[in-house]
Amino acid sequence: MYNEHYYRYNSALNIARQTDVLIIVGTSGATSLPNLVAWEVIENNGFLIDINIEENTFSNLALASQRGIFIKGPSGEVLPNILNLLTDY
């Protein structure tokens, strides 16, 4: 069970409510706290980016939202491309 003392449960959710962009890399979303964080970001008009080699809980959430995208590919290839785009910008 998640709790504040060990996992900063409430702190994580409070920060998620203030998050403008959440980038999720290479995880399936198999546990509840990360899923709740992603939901809080979307519910509070944040933008969700999921980078993964296959669809998962987070990609489904991103694709169902008007404020999310799913980038299918290995993080070792996708992240350097994103960095290049940002540094060239």
For the stretch 25-50, pLDDT in tens is 998 888 888 999 999 999 999 999 99
SS3 1: coil
For the cut 70, the answer to whether the pLDDT of residue 86 exceeds it is: yes
The residues spanned by each domain of the chain are 4-88
What is the pLDDT, as a whole number, of residue 2?
A: 62
Find tokens 């296959």 and name the residue: 54
Contact 22, 41 (CB under 8 A): yes
Average of per-residue pLDDT across 3-30: 88
Q: How far apart are CA 51 and CA 66, in angstroms?
A: 17
Q: Which amino acid is at 87?
A: T
Contact 13, 39 (CB under 8 A): no
What is the pLDDT, as a whole number, of residue 59?
A: 96
Match domain 4-88 to its CATH number in 3.40.50.2000, 3.40.50.740, 3.40.50.1220, 1.10.3720.10.
3.40.50.1220
φ/ψ (deg, to 5) at 19:
-85, 130
More confident residue, 27 or 24: 24
pTM: 0.86
